[in-house]
Structure 1
């Protein structure tokens, strides 16, 4: 019993120390890449499941009600000090609006998408305070996504009404194939924020 107690205390200590990590650029790329991959895989799987169970309405409901929770849970799984979110200029949820420093990165990614340039899987922004933000561009390629984010006139009125009630300031329409829809952002704290 004492051995088990010691093991539990040691585990708690290790988790506490692991939560206070100073991240290198290599760590940011590796951990951030894993998080992004898992988010995309999870959302794709859950949207597919929603489509089977309730069609487009269930898919819209998943995106509005549960995708945010899934994204947060995945981020927490990789580090208690990380913050993970989606951002977009064409956001539905006001929580997905980019911060000032994120606006410049989204504009740069949007210019790349519009120019037909090679779009990197991730881009890392290093801040003066030692923190990092990893951005993973989200490009409109899925027909399923266009059914909620495409031209508003072509979208099922039930879906338009659902989003209008949920998000009165909805700006999530008008996207076409190849457009930058937004980005997944993984924030890594500055070393002094960990003390």
Structure 2
């Protein structure tokens, strides 16, 4: 008799658990879509600034533009999306862009996925992560190394460009890349209130 009374309770708890998991999955898909759009918009904005600077003043102007406009673009993109948006890499130019533990693990996962043959152009990863302020949704989108990017991030860099990079970024590690390499990723963290 007791088994009959417990069974409906157990069934209800199981159904509630399934419902909660489905809601979390649905919210994750919504945030992944929002993340894709925010990452693409952020990258397009940065690319536009860099190409304009390069066209106006060459590679040295692009270095200055990247140094000045990248943080501004990240701040504006973050405000527009309602999330924290930044770029990071396994080999950063600016120490302020160093990956946290989750980003580091995701970048290493991206490198392994690329080594296994997956294309960087569509590579992404998103997950719910427990953090100091609660559970948040985190997303990363891989950034493939482009041909023009080799002027500042490649294996062979012009002496004047190297000198400017050393002046602005004495701890620079973001060189030695070839087109098609994993340059880094856009990282997006949604606030816990979005869940």
Q: TM-score range by the shorter chain?
A: 0.7 to 0.9
Report Cα offsets for 1:33-74 as digits up to 9, x if no partner: 111111121122111211111011111111122112112211
2:38 equivalent in structure 1:
35
Report the secondary structure of 2:29's partner residue.
helix
Question: Quick check: 167-176 or 112-121, which moved more?
Answer: 112-121
Report the secondary structure of 1:58's partner residue.
helix
| CA distance 1:158–1:186, change in 2 (3 Å) | same
Calculate the aligned-residue CA RMSD, in Å: 2.0
2:102 equivalent in structure 1:
101
2:179 equivalent in structure 1:
177
Q: What is the CA–CA distance in structure 1 between the aligned matches of 2:77 and 2:102, rounded to whole Å?
A: 24
Correspondent of 2:62 among 59, 66, 84:
59
The within-5 A match list for 1:77-88 is: 77-79=80-82, 82-88=83-89
Does the Cα contact within 8 Å between 1:114 and 1:179 map onto a contact in 2? no
Report the secondary structure of 1:31's partner residue.
helix
2:158 equivalent in structure 1:
156
2:192 equivalent in structure 1:
190
Unaligned runs of 5+ in 2: 1-23
Does the Cα contact within 8 Å between 1:124 and 1:135 map onto a contact in 2? yes
User: When the two structures are superposed, what TM-score results if normalisation uses the length of structure 2?
Assistant: 0.79
Unaligned runs of 5+ in 1: 1-21
Structure 1 residue 114 displacement after superposition: 2.4
Does the Cα contact within 8 Å between 1:113 and 1:178 map onto a contact in 2? no
Larger Rg: 2
